[in-house]
Structure 1
Amino acid sequence: MKIEQGILHMLDFETGSLTISQRELDLKEQIIHQYADKLLNKFLDGDIKVGELDRTNDFVKQLMDKEMSFLEKSHTIAQVFFDCLKQAEDVPNGDLLVVQGIAEDEQPFLGIFKLNYKPALTHFVDYVDDQMVNNIIVNKTILPNMGQRVDEGILIYLETLEFHAIEKNIK
């Protein structure tokens, strides 16, 4: 699979805010491309459900619309995703990674992955009474690392509308 485009949107359910990126990720940056590739490969190696989307569904029609740019599609996806999940309880904050590319069989695909934040410790330089203090703090917005499997996501083959999905039950 070759990822050609990607974008990251921020989902903050605690404050009820969706931060939509206005530009795509720079996949020429090796670390960004490597991160997206590894997430996709780990996803495909997971316990996925396979099915086919309904071509008559309005949302699916938007995904297939060749007139809409990748950026526009990703904005629509993020808004629909956020609107659905914000009504649920206990949805963890995270980022929504949307990627588009070409599969081995030359079929175009669209991937949508929710990257739940993982808390991690980091250092923080602070000043107390004009003296520098190095503290340890919890950063609550750390993305899953490259070796981790995605908890939630869907990969859609745009010509056949076959999908591979991993879902997480949410109340």
Structure 2
Amino acid sequence: MVVIEKAILHILDVNESNEVFSDDLLEMNEATAEFLIKHVEKTISSQDAKKGSFYGNSEFKVMLDGYIGGEMEFIDFSRQVAGALYKVLTTAEAVSSTDLLICDARIDETRYLVIFKCNNHQGYVHQINVDENGKVSTELVNNYAILPGLTQKIDEFVFINCETMEILSKSRKYNVDGNSIYLIPELFLECAQNPSPAETIKEINKAVKKVTEAYCQDEVAAVTAVKNFIAENMEKDAVLDPVAVGREVFQDNPSMAADYNHAIETAGFSEPVEVNQEATLKKMKKHKLSTDTGIEITIPTDYFENTDFVEFFKEEDGSMSITLKNIQNIINR
């Protein structure tokens, strides 16, 4: 359950060198509460988000400690946060105008500081004009400050557990002095980050493909084995261990297993990561294949090893054939 205790909106327009800091909290009417709660629920379970922890010399943590310790009010604290982010944004190239939402919230009874950096999007809205004679006309107006809708994603966000100081964040890379960096964790929060669940799964598949290609093995079969292993383990546990994946997939070839482990460790993805069980299972239970002839097939992962439903054949000329079996009905979609 999500409860928004306090929320405020500040506007950071770096391109126009303009900061608009609010002096009042957002009125928590039904529409505002729905907007904030929906986005909190959507983003906190994002598989693209990374866990992290503050560096010992983090200036942001000093500000946060002061607020939590009662040394300053929420509005003053939020203005300091907005000012710190604005200062950091001015050092980067090609930065969008931003609406900054800062919330003091409770999520399942745990207190969080939530920061939504909503990069403004371009969109069209209608405008009604009435002249001095009462004549009504309508027009389309290009609006450059459109906030994400309830079904859209927040571009960048931060959740800080006010009890443990654990950080969960999603950030984009920006060019600063010729270097591409994650601006929010590195310059704004000043914190270390662990790989996200989505990054970890992507790196696992990348390492598996690299190893199977090097040993001239069946890449499709190996990636399918990865999905099967992850899906089976997600039924029991929300923790994904990349090393255990390699141990299972390459259990019959110690050399391949060793090369996989080396690839994972070199990339910095060897540590277990906590994932969203429901979202991960949904992805792992299906396997999408794209052929060089333009055909795309989505097959339940369980069926890859069941020749009663699908079978792969290697032809003499090196090409492949796929046979789908026991089909009772086909529906056009």
The runs of 5 or more residues in structure 2 that have no matched partner are 176-333
Alignment partners' CA distance in 2, 1:86 and 1:146: 29
Residue in 2 that maps onto 1:97? 101
Superposed counterparts of 1:102-141, under 5 Å: 102-104=106-108, 106-126=109-129, 133-141=137-145
Q: Secondary structure at the match of 2:174?
A: coil
Deviations 1:124-164 (A, max 9, x none): 34589x87542222111111111111111110011211010
Q: Which has the higher contact order (CA 8 A, sep 6+)?
A: 1
- CA RMSD, aligned part only? 1.8
State the shift of 1:114 in Å. Answer: 0.5
Alignment partners' CA distance in 2, 1:100 and 1:124: 35
Alignment partners' CA distance in 1, 2:39 and 2:3: 13
Deviations 1:63-92 (A, max 9, x none): 121221111110110000001002211111
Residue in 1 that maps onto 2:27? 26
Inter-CA distance 127–24: structure 2 relative to 1 (3 Å threshold)? closer
Residue in 2 that maps onto 1:80? 84
Residue in 1 that maps onto 2:41? 41
Larger radius of gyration: 2
Deviations 1:84-139 (A, max 9, x none): 002211111120000012232x33210111011121112234589x8754222211
State the shift of 1:54 in Å. Answer: 3.2
Alignment partners' CA distance in 1, 2:117 and 2:141: 25
Alignment partners' CA distance in 1, 2:13 and 2:160: 25
Q: 1:159 aligns with which of 147, 163, 170?
A: 163
The runs of 5 or more residues in structure 1 that have no matched partner are none
State the shift of 1:55 in Å. Answer: 5.1
Count matched residues: 168
Identity score, percent: 27
Deviations 1:15-70 (A, max 9, x none): 1111000001111x000011011111111122110011235423202112122111
TM-score when normalising by structure 2: 0.48
Q: Which moved more, 1:62-71 or 1:155-164?
A: 62-71
**Which structure dedicates a bigger proportion of its chain to helix?**
2
Inter-CA distance 55–5: structure 2 relative to 1 (3 Å threshold)? farther
Residue in 1 that maps onto 2:150? 146
Amino acid at match of 1:108: R
Alignment partners' CA distance in 1, 2:14 and 2:89: 8
Does the aligned pair in 2 maintain the 1:42–1:148 contact within 8 Å?
A: no
State the shift of 1:14 in Å. Answer: 1.6
TM-score when normalising by structure 1: 0.90
Alignment partners' CA distance in 2, 1:156 and 1:77: 13
Alignment partners' CA distance in 2, 1:61 and 1:55: 10
Does the aligned pair in 2 maintain the 1:55–1:61 contact within 8 Å?
A: no
Residue in 1 that maps onto 2:240? none
Q: Which moved more, 1:39-48 or 1:3-12?
A: 39-48
Amino acid at match of 1:50: K
**Which structure dedicates a bigger proportion of its chain to strand?**
1
State the shift of 1:3 in Å. Answer: 1.6
